[in-house]
């Protein structure tokens, strides 16, 4: 992938991410005015649930199929490998459903969600796992346009169905939940059909070696997903338990608005990953120096733009959600700061994926997630909702530095010797 193609794909991903991110924001004023704060809190709990479940139904499998693309020369072999990945997803989904049927009352008591919502969360998590495999194969090939179009279509249909069910049929929070379940399930099926169409899915091919290899890549990432959940989603449960479901809804609104910061970061990273993997495969010193320079420039850009978010956050919240959600403005800046550190982290975890030493990433993320929970317990009591935002930012900063250290350990780069190496070449 050329440098020009990297910039072109980054622009495409950015445009698609902006559109994809703005579509749910169109829904926010509707949700905050048609749903009570408590009902909005129930939506927050549901979204937290399906992210928690995703760790157990194969969300980490997609990364294995992405990485395998750079090792196999035959599309047939890649189709067999992706078939093994989908087989694993199906087995894990059925196993999770079985556990849910047996322990449904215990799950409900633990999460505070109804059995119906937990079942829906499993369906969404399984569908997202399949969708991610389809998206990953487009991303790794640099097909940014179809990648963006697919995401935008999914988001648009979820929003359209949500409006229909909430505004016109008065489904309350169930309308928002059902729209996610139905659209994600449909797109999960479409993803399978598209993989089959492109000859990238041989579901009935049995290859124990590929299953073993996929699990070897993915299982070490389960603690990583758990850590991400502890950092990014578990705070909703703690806030609901400590401050009430209504406060969880307010916090979720701030968290959703703060994800705007991730739109640019994710756009750059989606284009950066296949380009980086290609450059690392060539293993040229001049490419490594160029990568490090680009990364430092990107870090500086992120940090320079972050202070502004603390000033504009409160006004954004009131304009979009109304004065009853004004408290969300106080926490917006801290959450946005955490996402800025997340954008910097995303430029570094690629090296760990490339090295296949994913267990190290899991250690870092799980440690950061546990740290977030510890900080959350103390800061919630002292600072309320703002304390949750501060805990999130600190945890994301710690994860960034630890990931940087590990990335350099598993795949050394000239992070601190660019000037010296350039001088020696000249």
- SS3 for 352-408 is HHHHCCHHHHHHHHHHHHHHHHHHHHHHHHHHCHHHHHHHHHHHHHHHHHHHHHHHH
Number of domains observed in the structure of the chain? 1
Q: With respect to residue 425, please indicate whether it lies within any of the assigned structural domains.
A: no
% of the chain with per-residue pLDDT over 90: 28
* Residue that has been written with the tokens 């106080």 in this structure: 330
Provide long-range contacts, Cβ within 8 A and 24+ apart, for 116-122: 117/42, 117/45, 117/46, 117/49, 117/177, 118/49, 120/46, 120/50, 120/177, 120/178, 120/180, 120/181, 121/46, 121/49, 121/50, 121/52, 121/53, 122/50, 122/53, 122/57, 122/93, 122/96, 122/97
Q: Whose CA is closest to 352, among 223, 238, 217, 240?
A: 217
The answer to the question of residue 340 being in a domain is yes
Residue 388: inside a domain: yes
d(CA 54, CA 176): 19
**For residue range 146-188, what is the model confidence (pLDDT) as tens digits?**
988 998 999 999 999 999 999 998 888 899 999 999 999 999 9
- Domain interval for residue 206: 3-416
Higher per-residue confidence, 367 vs 272: 367
- Residue 193: exposed, middle, or buried by beta-carbon count in 10 A (0-12, 13-18, 19+)? exposed
Residue 114 belongs to some domain of the structure = yes
426 pLDDT tier (thresholds 50, 70, 90): very low
User: From the centroid of its chain, how far is CA 181?
Assistant: 18
Say if residue 1's pLDDT is above 70: no
Our measurement of the distance from residue 112's CA atom to the centroid of its chain's CA atoms, rounded to an integer in Å, reads: 24
Q: So what's the pLDDT on residue 422?
A: 40
Tens digits of residue pLDDT in 137-157: 888 887 888 988 998 999 999
Instruction: Give a yes or no: residue 21 inside a domain.
Output: yes
Q: Tell me what the pLDDT averaged over the chain comes to.
A: 84
Q: Is residue 424 part of a domain?
A: no
Decide if pLDDT at 57 tops 90: no
Of 190, 188, 205, 195, nearest to 129 by C-alpha is 188
Query: Could you write out the DSSP letters of every residue in 254-267?
Result: HHHHHTHHHHHHHH
pLDDT at res. 423: 39
Residue 411 lies in a domain: yes
Record the pTM.
Answer: 0.71
Phi-psi sector, 244: left (phi>0), alpha (psi -120 to 50), beta: left
Residues 232-273 have pLDDT tens digits of: 777 877 887 788 878 888 888 888 888 878 777 777 777 777
106 — pLDDT class (breaks 50, 70, 90): confident
């Amino acid at each position: 992938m050329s440098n020009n193609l990297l910039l072109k794909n980054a622009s495409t991903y950015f445009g698609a991410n902006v559109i994809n991110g703005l579509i749910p924001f169109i829904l926010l004023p509707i949700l905050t005015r048609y749903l009570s704060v408590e009902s909005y809190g129930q939506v927050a709990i549901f979204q937290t649930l399906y992210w928690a479940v995703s760790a157990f139904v194969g969300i980490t499998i997609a990364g294995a199929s992405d990485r395998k693309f750079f090792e196999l020369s035959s599309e047939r072999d890649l189709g067999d490998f992706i078939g093994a990945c989908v087989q694993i997803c199906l087995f894990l989904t059925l196993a999770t459903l079985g556990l849910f049927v047996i322990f449904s009352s215990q799950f409900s008591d633990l999460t505070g969600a109804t059995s119906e919502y937990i079942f829906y969360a499993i369906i969404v998590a399984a569908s997202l796992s399949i969708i991610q495999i389809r998206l990953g194969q487009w991303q790794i090939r640099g097909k940014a346009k179809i990648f963006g179009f697919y995401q935008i279509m999914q988001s648009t249909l979820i929003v359209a169905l949500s409006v229909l069910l909430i505004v016109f049929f008065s489904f309350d929070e169930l309308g928002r939940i059902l729209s996610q379940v139905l659209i994600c399930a449909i797109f999960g099926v479409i993803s399978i059909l598209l993989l089959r169409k492109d000859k990238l899915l041989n579901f009935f091919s049995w290859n124990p070696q590929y299953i073993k290899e996929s699990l070897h890549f993915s299982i070490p990432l389960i603690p990583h997903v758990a850590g991400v959940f502890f950092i990014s989603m578990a705070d909703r449960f703690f806030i609901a338990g400590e401050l009430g479901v209504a406060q969880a809804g307010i916090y979720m609104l701030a968290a959703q608005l703060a994800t705007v910061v991730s739109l640019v970061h994710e756009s750059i990273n989606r284009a950066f990953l296949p380009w980086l993997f290609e450059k690392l495969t060539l293993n040229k010193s001049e490419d490594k120096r160029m990568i490090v320079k680009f990364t430092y420039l990107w870090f500086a850009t992120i940090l320079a733009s972050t202070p502004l978010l603390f000033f504009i956050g409160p006004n954004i919240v009131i304009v979009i959600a109304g004065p009853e959600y004004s408290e969300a403005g106080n926490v917006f800046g801290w959450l946005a700061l955490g996402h800025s550190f997340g954008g910097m982290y995303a430029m570094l975890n690629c090296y760990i994926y490339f090295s296949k030493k994913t267990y190290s990433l899991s250690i870092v993320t799980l440690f950061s997630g546990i740290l977030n929970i510890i900080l959350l317990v103390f800061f919630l009591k002292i600072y309320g909702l703002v304390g949750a935002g501060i805990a999130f930012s600190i945890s994301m900063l710690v994860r960034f530095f630890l990931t940087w250290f590990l990335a350099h350990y598993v795949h050394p780069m000239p992070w601190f010797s660019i000037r010296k190496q350039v001088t020696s070449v000249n």
